[in-house]
Structure 1
Amino acid sequence: MRLSTTSALAAMPLLVSGQLDYWAKQAGMKYFGSATDTPGQRERSGFEASYSRYDAILRDPKQFGQTTPTNGMKWLFTEPEPGVFNYTEGEVVANLAKDQGKLLRCHALVWHNQLAPWVENTTWTPDSLREAIVRHITNVAGHWKGQCYAWDVVNEALDEDGTYRKSLFYNILGEEYIKLAFETAAKVDPAAKLYYNDYGIERPASVKTAGALRIVKMLKDAGVKIDGVGMQAHLHADNHPTAADHVATMAAYLAMGVEEVAFTELDVRITDPANATSLEWQKDSYVQVTTACAKVEGCVGITVWDFYDPFSWVPVTFPGKGAAGLWFADFTEHPAVQGMVDVLKTLVAEKEATKNGEREFRRMFWA
């Protein structure tokens, strides 16, 4: 990404502690967190020299109280050969969470993407695929049993039109594979919150939102444990949902019977180069998400999909787009950081004022 050289950006301080997790918790959330990756990806990124500053921000307990491994727990890394399991990549982030006292969201057990090549190259029967899914979840979720606050059990099972994605899992087992994944995860790690996770399910009128609601209903009707819906929230700065949109969508998921919802992979991409206008649009998008989560009791938290722009997936996947995170390459903060802190402080003050008003009313009533 190419950074704007406007005076507004140049004037930003270097390591301002926004204290996102601290204020999110004051506002009633369980966490504000960031995904992060493993040393292998770090070295290949070409930014190894920046890691002392990156690590200092991630380590700050008032900044981030939760983390998710961006890649290390996916099938590609955890079961590279049939029945051969390797937890090295995922352990880096799991150990980081343990050492730093962060909540760990584990990601992801069954996904059509980033599969080990052998999975895609095998000629499956229904029985052999069922066996592979059960074996994979039993071993991977079993390895991290008791460490994960939540698991993204099934990831991105929906196509853009809200119908089931024609993945190898669906083509062979239909929606049964979703039930099987959740049933197995519930047996292996019953204390973990089990999530369905997807992108494009943040707007109340979205066909994908309707599809996610159908998945929740299908699992609930079958008596299968599902605790939450994860809204990835890979958003666009110039066309993003409002807080009211987010609130309505979360209310629909919660009304379907899940215990909680979360924004699980939040980033907001803009067109390069960053400028004052696009950064304000981006700030508003982040603020809308934060406002909505703080106002919905069942919204437990927000995870950004890495906070540091050079480690974002966006520029590779969407050429010409970037600056999707919260810190620029030089570790200056995006305006969105202070925007979120400000709105959280305001919401905390409003809640406190309401409590004080209620206490004063009771005092006068009983005087």
Structure 2
Amino acid sequence: MKFTIILSILFCTSIWIPQNPDLTLDTRKDPVSLKEAAKNHFKIGVALNERQLNGMDDKALEITKQHFNAIVAENCMKSGRIQPVEGEFVWEHADRFVAFGEENNMEINGHTLIWHSQAPRWFFVDDEGNDVSKEVLIERMRTHINTVVGRYKGRVHTWDVVNETILDDGSWRQSKFYEIIGEDFVKIAFTLAHEADPDARLFYNDYSMAKPGKREGVVKMVSNLQKQGVKIDGIGMQGHVGLDHPSLEEFEKSIQAFAALGLEVLITEMDVSVLPSPSNHQGAEITDTFEYQKEINPYTEGLTKEAEQEFHDRYMDFFRLFDKYSDHITRVTFWGVTDGHSWKNNFPVRGRTDYPLLFDRSYQAKPVVKSIADFLQNP
């Protein structure tokens, strides 16, 4: 571990970060590039949406070019978007996504090959609407993965092969993939992806990875894959967090557990929600919904000074943790460019105003951008 003793001391004392940084400091004219600041630590990534890829949001793309050296497809590579009808692939948006990454010398991450959600219904049923056989579903997986990964062989550097198949208690999600094929669908997916592009790095991605049950379930699943000789290069820990959850201690335990498997650890889908969690809701299960209430949408006119400080400090706590494990963490990716692009405005309650990302709705860098950059340059 690089600078192990020094980092351990700093992590415990936190004396190198001001307790009350001046959040009114003007960092907007020429903020330090995050990718440059993090070049000796890990790559800094961001999710791009189809509107941006279609050239309808040049400001977001300029921010991406300045601050990020890795990109992930937010939606355009999900199976329901890229193959909405069996055998009919829609390449327009995915092609633009890959081309943008290549033009700007970025690490390109494909998201996601196999996911129970946002998958087309036809994937799992026959012409009469009945579940297909195990053999048919495997063949559809083969066709989908071979076609998508094959098209971008040597161009997409990493793939989220399987997304969100372990529940918070460590048990298997009862998805159609699991119901029809069983646990082997994960092994099959990774094997097919490796065959389609032997040089691509392959990852498992999931949310709430700081929960002990999920941590144990993922470690068990991945260990079984490794014992069978399946190529899996790393684990993506989705970073959808709030001001008070999860605890840094549990998040750190998961980093340690996944690194102990000898794998890369990615921090994926990072955002910090400042809004109250309805019914103590945590996680990122997209089917979760709660009724709108004014009390849980308190910042429609902007954040208070106290909330701004909490937001800033929460991000810095996580980046101190990420730096501590930078020998294992290879990429930190944010789930959107600006607050206006964030899915958190509508999840798990539609119509709220959230502020979870590094750039505000006016495309301006928040003070935390400079704080992160300064810290990474002078840990």
- TM-score range (shorter-chain normalised) is 0.7 to 0.9
Q: 2: distance between equivalents of 1:40 and 1:33? A: 15
Mapped partners of 1:146, 1:183: distance in 2:
17
| 2:161 is the counterpart of 1:153 | yes
Matches within 5 A, 1:1-367: 12-26=26-40, 28-29=41-42, 31-39=43-51, 48=56, 51-60=57-66, 63-122=67-126, 123-201=131-209, 203=210, 206-242=212-248, 245-258=250-263, 260-271=264-275, 272-273=298-299, 274-296=303-325, 297-319=327-349, 320=352, 322-347=354-379
**8 Å CA contact 1:280, 1:335 repeated in 2:** no
Are the aligned partners of 2:54 and 2:93 in contact in 1 as well (CA < 8 Å)? no
Q: State the Cα distance separating 1:190 from its structure 2 match.
A: 1.1
Indicate if the aligned counterparts of 1:269 and 1:321 stay in contact, CA closer than 8 A: no
2:77 and 2:94 in contact (8 A); partners too: yes
Contact 1:38–1:92 (8 Å) recurs in 2: no
Select between 272-281 and 185-194 the one with higher mean Cα deviation.
272-281
Cα shift at 1:42: 7.0
What's the offset of the Cα at 1:134?
Answer: 1.1
Contact between 1:24 and 1:294, CA under 8 Å: does it hold in 2?
no
2:31, 2:369 within 8 Å by CA — same for their partners in 1? no
After TM superposition, the score normalised by the length of structure 1 is 0.83
Q: Normalising by the residue count of structure 2, what TM-score does the alignment of the two structures yield?
A: 0.81
Question: Contact 1:12–1:333 (CA<8 Å) still a contact in 2?
Answer: no
Taking only the aligned residue pairs, the percentage that are identical comes to 28
Aligned length: 326
Contact 2:60 2:337 in 1 (8 A): no
- Distance in 2 between residues matched to 1:15 and 1:193, nearest whole Å: 37
Once the two structures are superposed, residues 144-176 of structure 1 have per-residue CA deviations (whole angstroms, 9 ceiling, x without a partner) of: 111122110000011232211111101111111
Letter in 2 for 1:36: L
Distance 1:18 1:120 in 2: 48
Higher helix share: 1
C-alpha distance in 1 between matches for 2:229 and 2:358: 40
How far, CA to CA, are the matches of 2:339 and 2:375 in structure 1? 23
Q: Give me the whole-angstrom Cα distance separating, in 2, the residues matched to 1:241 and 1:98.
A: 37
- The secondary structure found in structure 1 opposite 2:39 is helix
2:10 is matched with which residue? none
Deviation for aligned residue 1:121:
4.8
CA displacement, residues 163-214 of structure 1 (integer Å, 9 cap, x when unaligned): 111111011111110000011111111111110000111x2x5211111111
Deviates more, 1:330-339 or 1:188-197: 330-339
The residue aligned with 1:350 is none
Matched to 2:363, the amino acid is F
C-alpha change, 1:24 and 1:191, in structure 2 (3 Å) is same
Q: CA deviation at 1:119?
A: 2.2
Call closer, same or farther: CA 1:112–1:265 in 2, change over 3 Å.
same
- Cα distance in 2 between the residues matched to 1:54 and 1:73: 20
Find the aligned partners of 2:346 and 2:32 in 1 and give their Cα distance. 28
**Ranges in structure 1 where 5+ consecutive residues have no aligned partner:** 1-7, 348-367
Instruction: Give 1:88 shift.
Output: 1.3
Q: Deviations over 1:34-79 (max 9, x none)?
A: 1111238879xxxx5xx2322221121xx11111110111101221
Please report how far the alpha carbon of residue 112 of structure 1 lies from its aligned counterpart in structure 2 after TM superposition.
Answer: 0.7
CA-based RMSD of the aligned residues comes to 2.1
Q: Which runs of 5+ in 2 are unaligned?
A: 1-21, 276-297
